[in-house]
Amino acid sequence: MLAQRDCTQFVQTVLNAVSSNSNPVYPANGSLTDVFESFLAQGNNHSLLTRQNPPGGWGYGSPVGNIKNGDAVIYSPNVGSTAAIQLMADADTIIAELFHFAGRRNYYTDEQLAKAVHNSKYGSEADSVISPEANIFDKRYQARGWTRLKAYSAYFHYIQYLHCSAVPQPPGHPRHIG
């Protein structure tokens, strides 16, 4: 998935936008494939996936630790059903959380990632996957009990799934929140 042209262009756009002198992309060339390889390379020291939701986690995927420090772990919830469904869910979670781990010093936050997407050509895709009331950037946005952080997360990840997802989406049936 990470080598597909659509995904690599999306990644390059997002990571170029969030990278800064104070928190550059790690590794330096800005490829999510390189971030993934760096994540895997630390696997001799500890398990890379956990089913234990970290403190403050929302019950979805979460990054824990830092690749540069060698202690990065991804929380991926147990979705049950079958091994194949769990494998696809884990793959999607890993791809999604690698964006956060791409920061050398600190995570790239959902807000930073969402703003990078919103300010790019990909921002126009929000209407296909997020209703106006759930879109943090739409004037019709209504919190509905969500924190702003969760709204930024949903914005970024729902658009990210259109371009970098291990779970195939049938044509004309995008994921949608609202």
Q: What is the pLDDT of residues 2-24, one digit of tens each?
A: 788 899 999 999 999 999 999 99
Q: Is 106 among the domain residues? A: yes
- Is residue 117 scored above 90 in pLDDT? yes
For residue 22, list its beta bridge partners. Answer: none
Q: How confident is the model at residue 168 (pLDDT cuts 50, 70, 90)?
A: low
- Is residue 176 scored above 70 in pLDDT? no
- Is residue 170 scored above 50 in pLDDT? no
Q: Is 51 among the domain residues? A: yes
Q: How confident is the model at residue 169 (pLDDT cuts 50, 70, 90)?
A: low
pLDDT, position 175: 47
- Is residue 103 scored above 70 in pLDDT? yes
Q: Is 174 among the domain residues? A: no
pLDDT tens by residue, 129-151: 888 988 999 999 988 777 888 89
Show the DSSP H helices in the chain as ranges.
Answer: 5-18, 32-41, 83-101, 110-118, 126-129, 148-163
Which residue's structure tokens are 């928190």?
A: 23
Angle between helix 148-163 and 83-101 (nearest 10)? 110
Q: How confident is the model at residue 112 (pLDDT cuts 50, 70, 90)?
A: very high
Q: Is 16 among the domain residues? A: yes
3-state SS assignment for residue 80: coil
Query: How many domains, in total, are found in the chain?
Result: 1
Q: Is 145 among the domain residues? A: yes
Q: Is 115 among the domain residues? A: yes
Q: How confident is the model at residue 80 (pLDDT cuts 50, 70, 90)?
A: confident
Six-digit token string for 162: 């259109």
Q: Mean of the pLDDT values across residues 119-133? A: 92
pLDDT tens by residue, 40-75: 998 677 899 999 988 888 878 899 998 888 899 999
Q: Helix, strand, coil shares of the chain as percentages rounded to 5?
A: 45, 5, 45
Q: Is 177 among the domain residues? A: no
Q: Is 176 among the domain residues? A: no
pLDDT, position 163: 93
Please give the residue range of the domain that contains residue 141. 5-163
* Average pLDDT value over all residues in the chain: 87
